[in-house]
Amino acid sequence: MGQNANVSAAKTISQRLQHLDLEQRLALIGQTGRNVVFTSSLGIEDQVLTAVIAGSALPIRIVTLQTGRLFDETLALIDRTEARFGFAIEQFHPGADAVADYVKSHGRDGFYDSVAARHACCAIRKLEPLARALEGADIWITGLRRGQSGNRSEVPFAAWDDARGLIKANPLADWSDEQVRSYVKDHDVPVNPLHARGYPSIGCAPCTRAIRPGEPERAGRWWWEQDERRECGLHLKSPGEAAHG
C-alpha cells in the first residue's frame, strides 16, 4: 500500500471512530483483520482500554514496556490486571547489554545530568523495546488523550505513523479525566494506587513525582527539565524527535 493510501486509510478510520462509543471504537479496530497491538503503561487510561479489550475478547495484543525502573505498585498492578481479566500481558524488556553500557557511561541515574542522557536512557528502556513490541503490527493502539497535556491537545483518533509504518489509533482521544475515572469506578477496573497519591501520569519511578495543586497532569514526568513539551519519544512524530527537540 502506497503512502497516500496509508494516510487515507488512517483518515477513514479516524473519521469513523469519532462517531462511536469506546466499545464500538475498539471493536472496529479489532475487526479490521489487521495485526493490532495495544501498548499499556498500566496508567488509568490504559486500564480502561484493557478492560474493554479483555471484556469483549477482541483480537488485540496487549503489551507493556517493562523498563526495569517501574514503581513496585506498577509491577503489582500487572499481576492484579492479569488475575482480574484472565490473560497474560506481554512484557518487553530493554537489552541487558545496552543497559549495562549506559550505566557504565552515565551511571545508573545519569539521566538527571542532562537532557541528552535522559533521552538516551528512554531510548534504551522504552524506544527499542517498543520497536520490538510493534514489529509486524499494522495498527498501534495507545491511551493518549487530548486533555493530558498541551503537547497532546490535538491528538487525532487515528493517523498514519510514517516513521513506524503503521496506523496509530487513540480511541480515548476525546475522553475527559472525569469520564476515565467514572469508567474505572463503574466497572471495578484495577488501577495503580499511586493515582490516589497525586500521580496522574506514572512512568519510571526515578522520573516521576506527584504533581502539585494546579499543575497539569504530566508535570510530574521528568520534572527537573524545563521544556514544557518534554516526552520520552514514544509519542512524537518520529522515534528520534525527542533526541533532537
> Which residues form the catalytic set?
232
Strand order in the sheet with 139-141: 90-92, 61-65, 36-39, 139-141, 166-169, 158-161
**What is the rounded (10 degree) CA torsion for 154, 160, 166, 172?**
30
Are 46 and 200 in contact, with CB atoms under 8 Å apart? no
**DSSP three-state, residue 83:** helix
Beta bridge pairs of residue 208:
221
What span, in angstroms and rounded, lies between the C-alpha atoms of 88 and 37?
A: 14
The C-alpha cell at 10 is 488512517
